[in-house]
Structure 1
Amino acid sequence: MNKKSLSERDICTKFITPALEKAGWDKQLQILEEVSFTDGKIHVRGKLTTRGSKKRADYILYYKPNIPIAIIEAKDNNHSVRAGIQQGLDYAKILDIPCVFSSNGDGFFFHDRTAEGKNIESEIGLEDFPTPDQLWERYKKYKGIETPEAEKIAAQEYFFDGTNRKPRYYQQIAVNRSVEAIAKGQNRVLLVMATGTGKTYTAFQIIHRLWKSGAKKRILFLADRNALIDQTKRGDFKHFKDKMTVVKKRQIDKSFEVYLALYQGLSGSDEKANAYKQFSKDFFDLIVIDECHRGSTKEDSNWREILTYFSNATHIGLTATPKETEEASNSEYFGDPIYTYSLRQGINDGFLAPYRVIRVALNVDAEGWRPEQGKTDKDGNEVEDRMYNKKDYDRSLVIDERTDTVARKVTEFLKGYDRFAKTIIFCVDIDHAERMRSALARHNADLVAENYKYVMQITGDNEEGKRELDNFINPEEKYPVIATTSELMTTGVDAQTCKVIVLDAIINSMTKFKQIVGRGTRINEEYGKQYFTILDFRNATDNFADPKFDGEPIRIKPVTEGTNLGGIIDEEEANTDPITDDDTGEEIIIEIPKVRQPDPSGTPPTSDPKSKVYVNGVDVSILIERELHFDQHGKPITSSLKDHTKQIIKGQFASLDDFLNKWNNTERKEAIVAELEDQGVMVDALLEAVDKQVDLFDLICHVAYDQPPLTRKERANNVKKRDYFTKYGEQARQVLETLLEKYADEGIENIETLEVLQVKPLSDFGSTVEIVNGIFGSRKKYMEAIKELETELYRIA
């Protein structure tokens, strides 16, 4: 057998898999081949979306179904035995796997992340691959699992319900790290996972493994909103069945093992209302605190007392937005996050929806508004003569025309996009949300006439609106379509099909901004939700440029001896004041808790409508509207789009010749498009900027190498002038001329696949088989003709 002639897959089948089985690995239970562990980033092209490539490991070896302990990258025999090691190490870092192997069928190259010094890498023969128990020992060393008791807990398998659902790679890491930390005696654990990444499912798997292993016998899941408890009970926790109960005040049944509770259901303002004290201090040995950035920040608050009372239990905090201010610190209470999975990671992996940002600047926002002499409000009182700006609007001053202009712009956007796209409009307060609903109803009178629930005010004080919240987030319910809100929908709303988020409020709190953006990050492909759009009227998306938006939380709360403030704060308890860092001079937003308990109904504090000044007759217009662009790291692009693109392309192709060589030698030009998009090139935005019917080839040559761009029609006409088709028979010539026309209309990607032959007018020549084999003689000859056509198209003088 000539190994050099074998494909990579043949090498796996004939050499690598047999070596693993010989070493004692179970092919059915422990060896997974060609494992895709991401979904592929979603790229947005206008209204169309495409998926990028998935990250795929050739082999992942599992000790138990939930414990990956080794990764193998395979290459064909024309590569060296170590050729795949760097890719394997990259994947191993992402997947938290200690043992990495590369193989070309001759043997294995082993990188041991648990080893020290010169023993970190070695080459071993095919017959010497380690056994499952040998690699399990290395895994335990990597994780610091040293006792039989800790090993028993760590090896407990996750819950499997018989469906195809199992933890995604990041959920698996979060579960494993939490269980392993608790097995080693850690009693405070913090998990930071972006909204939409399945924190509750992750919590369920942690609880189930600790419960099944006997490490934790009575568990409390603590939240501060009924919606969170209801979603949890009906959803991921339903598998606990009769072992689970929801705690109600004065209805304490201690015969259950898993308890779901609201802070409000356990505590009150007087001692008799403190239902949690009906449990002994040691009743629970595990407490999971959902949305742990919210709730009981003050040491003397009733809510905080619950955690203090059950302080002997292990506490796990879950949040998408850890709180780190001068008054509150999640990390001080829980320690540093044991695992962080960010919004950017989720988008890059294809598990979360990417976003477009459209900034709309109104004249009164950008320039401010000063009342003319003698200007009176709607009650006839003279308006104070001063300059008003967007911080005043809808808080102390209401301009009717401004509300109307925002509503008109949102309506215009939806008419050009999808009038039934679920939309949340975040307003300054309840009064603003009420007025915005009315303005939107006027501008959408046709659809409101069909169903008045087309636009609804969903705020804490509006019972009708609150009753519609479940319908808004239910993908199967058509109405409501547009929700106007202030605070109620910032958290705890699993809006899978929300496609548009409108920001018409100043948002100084990074925590609140992250929570609001999180309303749009879920993907639901069944209902056509793959990305979402943010319409920003108040420059709230400036927060995207802040390093804190998607970075590790930095503790800034000063540590005072003998204190432990817990780091759990309700966003609705906070106001914001700017202070200056003494070292850097930069402004820091700190959030100062007010002395009050959050209203369990979700009703936020509002400015009193009676204290506002209401005016009309003001000229309000849109000054500018532009789309913000973000690089591959999720940061706003500050240089021009062309300069940014030029930098990326020249990083890939140093010269025009390098690019031409790559272009001409790539079978499918679509692969180059995908590669550049992965690097952060926004092809569609560039095409719009160039404003010509050019394809990617001319776009790159023009932007990066200053070549004059030719339109697709110009390139097609140049081919026709060269009489290139005369070498072909009549029918073949007609097919190629038709493909050339298709290129001129749609671009190169559409003529590279055989599927194009099934589309009119090409299908008029016959079936795909008839065209390829009958007209051109064979598939090989057809593909050669297409390749030659591309060469003629991209010939450079």
Structure 2
Amino acid sequence: MDQKEKKQLSESDICDLFITPAIKHAGWEQHKQVRREVTLTPGPVIVRGQMSARNKKKKKFADYILSWKPGTRIAVIEAKDNNHTVSHGMQQALGYAQILGLPSAFSSNGDAFASHNKVPKEGEDIEIEFPLQEFPGPVELWERYKEYHEIEDSHEDLILQSYYLDGSGKEPRYYQLEAINRTIEAVAKGQRRILLVMATGTGKTYTTFQIIWKLWKSKKAKRILFLVDRNILADQTLVNDFKPFGPAMTKIKNRKIDPAYEIHLGLYQALTGPDEEDKIFKNVSPDFFDLVIIDECHRGSAAEDSSWREILDYFKNAIHLGLTATPKETKYVSSITYFNDPVYTYSLKQGIEDGFLAPYKVIKIDIDRDIDGWRPTKGMVDDLGSEILDREYNQIDMDRILVLNQRTKLVANRVMQLLKATDPFAKTIIFCEDIDHAERMRQAIVNAAGKLAIENPRYVMRITGDSVEGKAELDNFIDPESKFPVIATTSELMTTGVDAKTCKLIVLDKTIKSMTIFKQIIGRGSRIDEDFNKYFFTIMDFKKATELFKDPEFDGEPVVIYKPDDGDPPTPPDPPETDDDFPNGDNDDAGTGTRKIYISGVSAKIKNELIEYLGADGAMVTESYKDFTKKKVTEEYASLDDFLIKWSNADKKKIIIDLLEEHGVILENLAELVGMEYGDFDLICHVAYGQPPLTRKERANNVKKRNYFTKYGEQARAVLLKLLELYADKGVKGIENTKVLKLSQFSKIGTPVEIINGVFGGKEGYDTAIKELENELFNDKTIA
């Protein structure tokens, strides 16, 4: 094949005819060691208004992934057609190699290979080019991978232990595989304290299951303890991700650790307590467990004098693996100091950028009494007749010291206003200051919901640590198949560990200063559930909690800000994070002894609202869907003339529509804002370039008024007129597919084949007629 012919080939042809044969010649086993067209990430979801769409332009898609064994990826290859240089795809390949932890990246255009080696030998270049027939074999690249990750020969059996496959085709996502591999490598190298940081919603438990599976199957860990601090976490794990362990697994109960089992799920509270007889973990020897996994290790287990830590100290010879979405680093508590730096981190920001986690929009609401403050008149009494302390009350006091019943009603009404305007049955969590506030908010929501709450008393439930009825509904709330409860009012109970996949609204009427708690709360909405059309979530903030988004700590690397020297005196621990601020239902303000002040007669109103969206750079931006569309269209077509030329020259307008969809511009969404009667062409011209739009019917009528059809025979005119009517009804995509000729209105003229061949003289003639019809529809004269 000469070079001219080669340049006519597609990228896929280049792979089939040149790159794949070269890889096979080097000794790589097809299907076992070579995978083609591997999707690594689906692309981020973009949200504007109530509209959402994936930005497919940012989808990560590797042309080739090379593996030594299943689950052990060691190299990536990016292919380009022959109109590009050999190394043109290298930067793309390096991006994939970076997130996959690979030392070897290659690029090819079918002429040769370009190579990037992260561990070159002395005197070797990092990047070189070489002929197709000299592509390195599996052993060479495996040895390079081992050198890059410092894997000894003696580690190989453990490293290469297969992960669990259930037969459904489900495999770990790229970051889960990285977390598994980095953890197993740490164990292989003898590390005994390991920390894994993965954002809420990224599958920590599934990843942990795969880690345990590999260690258990390889007999590196025969007995394993998985520690959680909430019953629901243990129960979810038992029946979901850990189910494949079958009869080898048990949940510790009846105050007994049963040595007949190998995988033990245990609540901290079930293993220990204040009295010596409560410490049932001491009923087995300190060497009983080979591996102890600490779920949500940012909480109490991080503190040195925590009762939970005594379990870890007792089983000190075991490997300790800490799991968290939010490593806790304070003056007194440090999970990193205990576990060392994370072996792998997958952040919320990265998860959203990849498209595995749901982005969010924020509705910031300022209430006048919060912002302007409120001061009682002299001698004013509260609802109980007690005189109110004369001072200025503001946002920090609301519902902790001062309870304005009208303010509570205002919040509830605003929440229900949003739900009724979007989806009254969207799962919603309202975070309140304490149990008392959560109960009052439940009542206010009932009144604001009206008929919805009358028809089902479980429409809104208070789910707090003290409520037996509420906690009994927690499983129903997090079950996507269960319609009720729709709204949960809570304080602390649902901040973490609650896998509410379909939660679409998080309401913050709670003062939040802790970054750890804030991250956990945001994590309640971060899951995507495509089966239930959950692609993003909304945060409604009444207490300025979302100001924490601006803090560099929100999605930055965890840093040890205090590490005591050996000579430092002991320091008191942070207050424990409990299920609720006031588990006994007390009305004291955070335990200070200050009684709450209840007042019914003071009004409250919304002073200001601002809607912000997550921007491409991770910062919050104020931008409408129209603004977003204009920006994306003009990035692709700088001027109206540029767009008109591309639109006119496109063989099919669908090509341009699909291109915009890749940027996250869904024209159906735009039509909902501008008008459903407008076609794609006018939507783009109006929103991006400020042109006055014509409806589809107006454009169709303009064509009918001209003498355009006289050039065609009677049957051709009949077909084109019917296509014109279809455009007026459905838009341009409705006339570009020949399948429309199967519709009943064309049956009297003939079958699709008879119309194309008999009426228009073949496919080329038919396509030309469609192109001319579109030119008439979008004639420049219709543009002002």
Aligned match of 1:89 in 83, 90, 94? 94
1:55 equivalent in alignment to 2:37: no
Distance 2:374 2:691 in 1: 45
- Amino acid of the residue matched to residue 127 of structure 2? E
Question: Which residue does 1:576 correspond to in 2?
Answer: none
- Give the superposition deviation at 1:348: 2.4
Corresponding position: 1:366 with 2:353: no
Cα distance change of structure 1 residues 352 and 184 upon mapping to structure 2, 3 Å threshold: same
Match in the other structure for 1:129: 135
How far is 1:238 from its partner?
1.6
Shift of 1:435: 0.8
Residue number in structure 2 paired with 1:710: 692
Cα distance, 1:72 vs structure 2: 1.6
CA distance in 2 between partners of 1:82 and 1:563 (Å): 56
- From the superposition, tell whether residues 369 and 133 of structure 1 become closer, same or farther in structure 2 (CA, over 3 Å): same
1:780 and 1:701 map into 2 onto residues whose CA distance is 25
Structure 1 counterpart of 2:767: 780
Letter in 1 for 2:602: V
Residue in 1 aligned with 2:779?
Answer: 792
Matches of 1:290 and 1:204, distance apart in 2 = 12
Find 1:29's aligned residue among 29, 32, 37.
32
The 3 A distance-change label for structure 1 pair 451 and 691 is: closer
Matched residue type, 1:788: N
Q: Structure 2 counterpart of 1:505, which letter? A: K
- Local SS of the residue matching 2:301: coil
The equivalences for 1:325-340 within 5 A come to 325-340=330-345
Do the aligned partners of residues 297 and 61 (structure 1) sit closer, same or farther apart at CA in structure 2, a change above 3 Å counting? closer
For the 8 Å contact 2:700–2:725, the answer to whether it is kept is no
Q: 1:614/1:790 Cα in 2 relative to 1: closer, same or farther (>3 Å)?
A: same
What pairs up with 1:655-670 in 2 under 5 angstroms?
668-670=655-657
Shift in Å, 1:26: 1.8
Using the TM superposition, give the Cα deviation of residue 340 of structure 1 relative to its aligned residue in structure 2, in angstroms: 1.4
Q: Give the stretch that moved more between structures: 500-509 or 665-674.
A: 665-674
The residue number in structure 2 matching 1:242 is 247
Q: 2:155 is matched with which residue?
A: 150
> How large is the Cα RMSD of the aligned pairs?
3.7
Once the two structures are superposed, residues 631-680 of structure 1 have per-residue CA deviations (whole angstroms, 9 ceiling, x without a partner) of 11331126999999888877767777666666666662224433544xxx
1:744-776 CA-to-partner distances (Å, cap 9, x unmatched) read xx7x77776667888999999998778766776
1:423-460 per-position Cα deviation (integer Å, ceiling 9, x unaligned): 11111110011011111112223222222111111100
The equivalent of 1:623 in structure 2 is 607
Return the offset for 1:84.
2.1
Aligned to 2:496: 491
How many Å separate the matches in 1 of 2:752 and 2:563? 71
Show structure 1 runs of 5+ residues with no match.
567-591
Counterpart residue type for residue 178 of structure 1: T
**Residue of structure 2 aligned with 1:3, choices 3, 6, 13:** 6
Change (3 A) 1:447 1:214: same
Match of 1:219 among 217, 224, 233: 224
Instruction: Write out per-residue CA displacement over residues 286-316 of structure 1, whole angstroms, 9 at most, x where no aligned residue.
Output: 2211111111343223212222222222221
Matches of 1:606 and 1:100, distance apart in 2: 61
Residue matched to 1:139 = 145
> For 2:618, which of 619, 624, 634 is the aligned residue?
634
- Paired with 1:596 and 1:424, the residues of 2 have a C-alpha distance of 23
Could you tell me which amino acid in structure 2 is paired with residue 612 of structure 1?
Answer: K
Question: Structure 1's 20 and 367: CA in aligned 2 closer, same or farther, altered over 3 A?
Answer: same
SS at match of 2:125: helix
The partner residue of 1:377 within 382, 385, 390 is: 382
Pairing 1:529-678 to 2, within 5 Å after superposition: 529-561=534-566, 593-594=573-574, 598=578, 603=583, 607-608=587-588, 611-637=595-621, 668-677=655-664
Q: Deviations over 1:78-106 (max 9, x none)?
A: 33332322221122212222222222333
2:176 corresponds to 1:171: yes
TM-score with structure 2 setting the length: 0.87
CA contact (8 A) 1:752 1:786 kept: no
- Tell me the CA shift for residue 711 of structure 1: 2.4
CA pair 565-128 structure 1, distance change in 2 beyond 3 A: farther
Deviation of 1:402 (Å): 1.0
* Matched-pair contact (CA < 8 Å) for 1:772–1:782: no
1:343 aligns with 2:323: no
Q: Which amino acid aligns with 2:362?
A: V
CA deviation digits over 1:364-393, x for unaligned, max 9?
223222334553311123333333222111
Tell whether the 8 Å contact from 1:264 to 1:600 is kept in structure 2 after alignment.
Answer: no
Name the structure 1 match of 2:261: 256
Structure 2 regions of 5+ residues with no counterpart? none
Q: Which one is further off, 269-278 or 407-416?
A: 269-278
> How big is the shift at 1:732?
5.4
Partner of 2:201: 196
Letter in 2 for 1:310: F
Aligned to 2:83: 78
Aligned residue for 2:397, secondary structure, equals coil
Structure 2 counterpart SS, 1:91: helix
User: Counterparts of 2:432 and 2:104 in 1: how far apart (Å)?
Assistant: 51
Pairwise CA distance, 1:468? 0.7
Classify 1:165/1:721 alpha carbon distance in 2 versus 1 (closer, same or farther; 3 Å).
closer
Deviations 1:450-480 (A, max 9, x none): 2211111110001011111111111121211
CA distance in 2: counterparts of 1:749 and 1:372, whole angstroms? 67
